[in-house]
Amino acid sequence: MFRIGKTLVSEEILENNFHCNIEKCKGACCVEGIAGAPLQKQEANLLAKNFDKISKYISPRAKKIVKNNGAYVTLKDGKIETPLVESKACVYVHYESNGTLSCGIEKAYKKDEIEFNKPISCHLYPVRVKEYSEFTAVNYHKWSICSDACSLGNELKKPVYEFVKEALIKKFGNEWFLELEKIAKNKTQ
């Protein structure tokens, strides 16, 4: 681990390679797991505000769940996440005609219908961020469904931090990312 400002960063984001391989996994991260995507309060509010624009990119069943239960779920501990369909798929999954899954939120964003991309927790993946009172932990998350992404990352020699550069800058700022790059370069010399 190393420190940048008030973050403690795992060296694994420098040492491991990753590049999403949607051709292989077909977007499994949108339907696997045991919880919805973690949301920041601002993101939850934006989902609720923009649901009508996003809804055309999700399934009828997902639309019904959101209409009945809301655009996000607040857990007992106060954390917020996306709702799930049948305790499995994120309600915001978009089913492509070729069988690949994508994000309905991101679809609306790319068509300039809404002003935010997907949740930062999704945008950062495979990096996971956890807020503590004194610092923020920035870690690499390994998930078996992403083995093809690790293989492609190795083939392309694309470190995790470079793969999620845009999201890291969005989360922590450009100065933070420049410091991360400097640390990464020093480690490879």
pTM of the entire predicted model = 0.89
Output the tens digit of pLDDT for each of the chain's 189 residues: 999 999 999 999 999 999 999 999 998 888 887 889 999 999 999 999 999 999 999 999 999 999 999 999 999 999 999 999 988 899 999 999 998 999 999 999 999 999 989 999 999 999 999 999 999 999 999 999 999 999 999 999 999 999 999 999 999 999 999 999 999 999 876
What are φ and ψ of residue 122, in 5° steps? -80, -40
Q: What Rg value do the Cα atoms of the chain yield, rounded?
A: 17
At 3, which helix (H) or strand (E)?
Answer: strand 2-4
Terminal C-alpha separation, the chain: 18
Identity at 21, one-letter amino acid code: N
